[in-house]
Structure 1
């Protein structure tokens, strides 16, 4: 089962624009579909292609890169013979899959691109981790592309709901709600997106098995184990810290403010001691980090406070399995309660994680804002996400709050608008009801978050 992925269009644009003058680098977490899309691109857009999987490459091939990397004639001859593929000048693609497993191949990209005979796509997990690049010269001849789990729009495409997605985008731009029947249909798709997630193998298992949650859950469980295996391979100096944070993500997100409290991990811990931990989780793209800002103005990085962080799972379907899987499976009752909107399942955690996933897939970095009232010993304002539009000179901010239930307060948003109104482009409250505009605040159903 093939899925339509947006990164394919990015690859087409890369091929047209650079015409062999740079390699494409697809970065992403494990199992998001990097190898599949690279191979599909090679099959469709070139006369021939070769996929070299460095996680399985034999000793002979690796030695060829070491010994003949600077002699491309010999290297190409060996690759062609090893894979029984004829290579055609300017009509063939060579894919370096899981290139972080063999950094030497990545280092050779500079000379291979300069040679100019073929095009190159690199794919990899944990590409930016320091341990994988410390001994090589990172080539500048790379066009990086980030690939995430399927976003909500891609998820809808997989279900054949192309027309509904188009209507959602039109309705959002015109600030008018969908007809009730289509709203209910879109909400059901969104709930499935929360439960199944966007990992292609999980979506494939779900659809192939007549929308069976157990089939999808088996795949998600395997992916979580792969992540744990990856964690165990990182330097021992901080592997246990990464494991601790990863295991407790559901616990952190179950709390009201969703923030990571390091004292809950290890007594007396500080953010400095966990710097490598969050570096690893963020760069592996297993998690989406969301940092606090002290001054909610354009250029969030200038007032970013890394001592306060929320750590969302990169895929909400994986979060469901991570949270609720016991004895090898998730109780079907959990899925029923999510579909029915029952509140004894922590729906707020799932909603907020799904919105974070949708925002990241749309290209946003995640920040949040909290103003603590010392006299009242409580938070005066809590804004779940702060986004920016425009540039550093005339840019504006977009506050976003996420509400999972039909009854909620907008006190924080109201106070935020009163205090920072001159900086705001527009405000959104994501809620499980129809789109409506109330006192200048745009209240949208969660399936429209992909449009922000």
Structure 2
């Protein structure tokens, strides 16, 4: 499937010219291995893909014994894979490199040697357990890979014209008109299926949401197994957070309450568990920023957070058991926009997913003042302008899952923090509209902000 990260990989190859390795970091089953092998086939004369998830004793022996002598190492590696190596035209891939940290540590010397190009892929690669015994090579150029975004989903279903039209409407702030219904239909299907390539492929092939659901449940089972295997010392806490995500997002304010896990739970005891889930790219953490100004991160209140699933399709399968989905015809109701409950959590989750894939860090604004009604407000997301100026740098975003809503909090924020705020947005199911200084956009335009 066509992925945008391919162009980033091309830029790395052209700009690095062998002086850095590429590290692609992302969750399990988002297509890292697939896209790297496609890149290797298309852009190099030969390649070797070292899969450390399936490395046998002979391969590990080559790495253990001969990395210190690269002439011998490359000779044995070429023989093991029966591949001819070409100077500056061979790519060597270390797949799931976190399973063999010594290979990652060797990148410094392999890059300095200069004969070949290197790409590493990994899950959980930033977690201390996988890097504690090695020096992270400065020769790595690191990029994050996310689930397929809405435009990539449209490509997969054979529609390459809709997004350019949507982008033009976004830039001109004009309505999509008769194409709005078509775009919303695609968007609802994207929300149901999600962006995991296996799920998207199943959807494209069968158009059967129940078969897609089984694919997603298999991925969730893999994630749960990873928690048990890799979250050493924190397994119980990580699993407790993971299991609580749907309940937390189903609440009106979406904040994660540790009290839901245990009355005695404290953030300092669970901080590393949230970190584990975020670094494994299973979730997207959104922190409260106490003021909507330039320094969103400087104003970050880490103990008040929202915990979104990194993929909304997975959230649906995580939140609803199979019996509920089949008995209530949940997917049909979602596809038709007729789900009475829980749609708010799915819509806000997919917006978080789209903002994250577009390069935004996730922040929200919450003030529960007991003394001033004017100060009491909740804003779903805050995003910074690409270029920071002296004023008007932060755009507040309110997310609405239906066409019946108020924007009381947004109006309060605009009054109180006017010098700090740039364009204000409401994402809703309806078409584009500009009214009273607020830009109303269809939900699917979140990826364009």
Note whether the superposition's TM-score is higher than 0.5: yes
The CA deviation at 1:344 is 2.7
Q: Given that residues 375 and 412 in structure 2 are in contact (C-alpha distance below 8 angstroms), is that contact kept between their aligned partners in structure 1?
A: no
Local SS of the residue matching 1:301: coil
The CA deviation at 1:295 is 1.6
Let me know the Cα RMSD of the aligned residues.
Answer: 1.5
Q: Does 1:258 align with 2:264?
A: no
Instruction: Determine the structure 1 residue equivalent to 2:351.
Output: 355
- Please, which of 268, 285, 291 is the counterpart of residue 287 of structure 2? 291
- 1:175-214 equivalences under 5 Å are 175-180=173-178, 182-209=179-206, 211-214=207-210
Alpha-carbon distance in 1 for matches of 2:442, 2:389: 32
Instruction: Determine the structure 2 residue equivalent to 1:216.
Output: 212
Q: Given that residues 372 and 378 in structure 1 are in contact (C-alpha distance below 8 angstroms), is that contact kept between their aligned partners in structure 2?
A: no
TM-score (norm 2): 0.97
Local SS of the residue matching 2:218: helix
Q: Does 1:244 align with 2:240?
A: yes
Map Cα deviations across residues 355-403 of structure 1 (whole Å, 9 max, x no partner).
0000000000000101113047998211000111145653600100000
**Paired residues, what number?**
448
Q: Does 1:308 align with 2:289?
A: no
Local SS of the residue matching 2:264: coil
Map Cα deviations across residues 393-447 of structure 1 (whole Å, 9 max, x no partner).
5360010000001110010000000001111110100000010011010000011
Map Cα deviations across residues 269-311 of structure 1 (whole Å, 9 max, x no partner).
1110101111101100100000001122111111100110100
Map Cα deviations across residues 209-245 of structure 1 (whole Å, 9 max, x no partner).
1x11111111101100010011001344211000000
Alpha-carbon distance in 1 for matches of 2:339, 2:119: 46
Report which stretch shifted further, 382-391 or 192-201. 382-391
- Any gaps of 5 or more consecutive residues in structure 1? none
The CA deviation at 1:326 is 2.9
Instruction: Determine the structure 1 residue equivalent to 2:394.
Output: 397
Alpha-carbon distance in 2 for matches of 1:444, 1:390: 19
CA distance 1:59–1:327, shift in 2 (3 Å): farther
Alpha-carbon distance in 1 for matches of 2:114, 2:323: 54
Q: Given that residues 316 and 353 in structure 1 are in contact (C-alpha distance below 8 angstroms), is that contact kept between their aligned partners in structure 2?
A: yes
- Any gaps of 5 or more consecutive residues in structure 2? none
CA distance 1:69–1:443, shift in 2 (3 Å): same
- 1:105-120 equivalences under 5 Å are 105-120=103-118
Alpha-carbon distance in 2 for matches of 1:104, 1:371: 47
Instruction: Determine the structure 2 residue equivalent to 1:345.
Output: 341
Local SS of the residue matching 1:302: coil
Q: Given that residues 292 and 304 in structure 1 are in contact (C-alpha distance below 8 angstroms), is that contact kept between their aligned partners in structure 2?
A: yes
Instruction: Determine the structure 1 residue equivalent to 2:159.
Output: 161
